[in-house]
Homo-oligomer: A and B are copies of this chain.
Amino acid sequence: MQPDPDRFAVIFRSQRTPGDHGYEAMAERMLDLARQQPGFLGVDSARGADGFGLTVSYWASEAAIEAWRQQADHLLAQRLGAERWYEQYSITVAKVLRTRGGPGTKGL
Residue A11 is within 8 A (CB to CB) of chain B in the complex: yes
User: How does the 8 Å CB contact mask read for A84-103 relative to B, with 1 for contact and 0 for none?
Assistant: 00111111111111111111
What range describes how many residues of A lie at the interface? 35 or more
- Give the number of times this chain occurs in the complex, counting copies: 2
A49 contacts partner chain B, Cβ-Cβ < 8 Å: yes
Interface majority SS (helix, strand, loop, mixed), chain A: strand
Q: Which of B90, B92, B99, B103 contacts A102 (CB 8 A)?
A: B90
Say yes or no for A105: interface residue by CB 8 A criterion.
Answer: yes
Interface residues of A (CB under 8 A from B): 8-9, 11, 13, 44-49, 52-56, 62, 81-82, 86-106, 108
Give 12 CB contacts A-B under 8 Å. Answer: A9-B11, A46-B53, A46-B54, A49-B49, A54-B54, A88-B101, A88-B102, A89-B105, A91-B99, A94-B94, A94-B97, A95-B95
Question: Apart from A8-B94, A88-B106, what 7 extra A-B contacts exist at CB < 8 Å?
Answer: A9-B11, A13-B56, A48-B48, A49-B49, A82-B102, A89-B101, A91-B99
